[in-house]
């Protein structure tokens, strides 16, 4: 008997994942455990910076009208999903990472000093840039997490495969399972990246990571795991 596949990411990514799953014949259920909201922010002059630094597609979606002044300007982004959102917003994507924002920043070895404007969420990891790279951060969105609803908790108790798209979501999901008395031993985890799997913690039925940090790779992994 195959495991039901649960997607807990917030909109609009949730709908995109569900549609992509349907396109490959994979049956999934959406239970968003978070909602993303824009925050007011003070946009500095774009001439003061050489490029944008983006760690999430949410930063692009919720930056607001101020982002239009960056159309045609360069951006360094954490993964392909963020790259797609950046291109749709008219940004010129120069670098696409594969293993988190810190490894991406470490690949930047400019011949002359550069300044990056990082657009981030309220909860974000500090970065240690290499020599010659200066980073200024603006907070443009927040993620509000929700409790595990009783119907989802009950479903998880009978076994499920859960797709996790972010580290904070992984941490929150694990905490909610513990709070609701959902045993980790019956729940399998498919994570978009190793850091996400690490933040989910130990004790799950199975934990595997997508070979690339893309929805397509994650769904292919889920298809293999759900049987």
Cα torsion through 16, 165, 141, 104, rounded to 10: -110
At residue 162, the pLDDT reads 99
At residue 161, the pLDDT reads 98
Q: What is the pTM of this model?
A: 0.87
pLDDT in tens, 47-81: 899 999 999 999 999 999 999 999 999 999 998 88
Mean pLDDT by groups of 10 residues along the chain of 227 residues: 91 95 96 97 89 96 94 94 95 91 92 95 94 97 97 97 95 98 98 94 98 93 92
At residue 45, the pLDDT reads 83
At residue 109, the pLDDT reads 84
At residue 100, the pLDDT reads 84
**Buried-exposed string 50-69: b where 16+ CB fall within 10 A, e elsewhere:** bbbbbbbbbbbbbbeeebee
Domains of the chain: 5-33+146-225 (3.40.50.10090), 36-143 (3.40.50.10090)
């Amino acid at each position: 008997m195959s495991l039901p596949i649960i997607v807990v990411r917030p909109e609009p990514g949730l709908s995109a994942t569900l549609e992509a799953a349907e396109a490959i014949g994979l049956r999934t259920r959406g239970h968003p455990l978070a909602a993303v909201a824009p925050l007011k922010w003070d946009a500095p002059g774009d001439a003061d910076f050489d490029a944008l630094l983006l760690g999430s597609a949410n930063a692009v979606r919720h930056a607001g009208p101020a982002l239009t002044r960056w159309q045609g300007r360069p951006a360094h982004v954490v993964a392909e999903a963020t790259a797609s959102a950046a291109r749709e917003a008219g940004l010129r994507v120069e670098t696409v990472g594969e293993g988190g924002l810190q490894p991406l920043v470490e690949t930047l070895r400019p011949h002359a000093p550069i300044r990056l404007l990082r657009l981030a969420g309220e909860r974000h990891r500090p970065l240690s840039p290499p020599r010659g790279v200066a980073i200024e951060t603006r907070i443009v969105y927040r993620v509000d997490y929700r409790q595990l609803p009783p119907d989802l908790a009950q479903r998880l108790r009978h076994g499920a495969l859960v797709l996790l798209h972010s580290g904070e979501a992984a941490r929150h999901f694990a905490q909610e399972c513990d709070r609701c008395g959902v045993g980790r031993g019956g729940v399998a985890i498919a994570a978009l990246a190793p850091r996400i799997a690490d933040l989910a913690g130990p004790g799950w039925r199975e934990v595997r990571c997508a070979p690339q940090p893309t929805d397509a790779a994650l769904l292919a992994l889920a298809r293999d795991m759900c049987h």
